[in-house]
Amino acid sequence: MAKKETRTTETEKNKEEMLYDLADLFKVFGDSTRIRILYSLMDGSLCVTDLAAALEMNQSAVSHQLKILKQNKLVKSTRAGKAILYELADGHVKSILEIGQEHIEEL
């Protein structure tokens, strides 16, 4: 009996952790600047300079937001010579944005 209760407790803890992680992920999407950056990267890789120009922001503000996006595994970077290029981490990020947009358009 005790083992079954322990498994249930572990499963509940894992589910609770997953829910907290999911809430944290959605918090990252709660900033319009980060959303603008992600939308800019949907068309392909960009460096900080190009992102800053496209979004009419200073490079330091863009870099700060990219750091948050990278920490949350929504963006990845690669070096191309002296430049660092940023792109969406995977297709899931694009899907989340597209599904969110579809939902908004239905309202």
Domain ranges of the chain: 1-30, 32-106
Measure CA 33 to chain center.
Answer: 12
Mean pLDDT, rounded, for 33-60:
98
Average predicted confidence (pLDDT) for the chain: 94
- What is this structure's pTM? 0.87
Question: pLDDT tier at 34 (50, 70, 90 boundaries)?
Answer: very high
CATH 2.30.110.10 applies to domain 32-106: no
Three-class DSSP labels, 57-102:
CCHHHHHHHHHHHHHCCCEEEEEECCEEEEEECCHHHHHHHHHHHH
Residue that has been written with the tokens 């947009």 in this structure: 101
Strands laid side by side in the 46-47 sheet: 46-47, 83-88, 75-80
How long, in residues, is the chain?
107
- In the block, tokens 């950056």 appear at 37
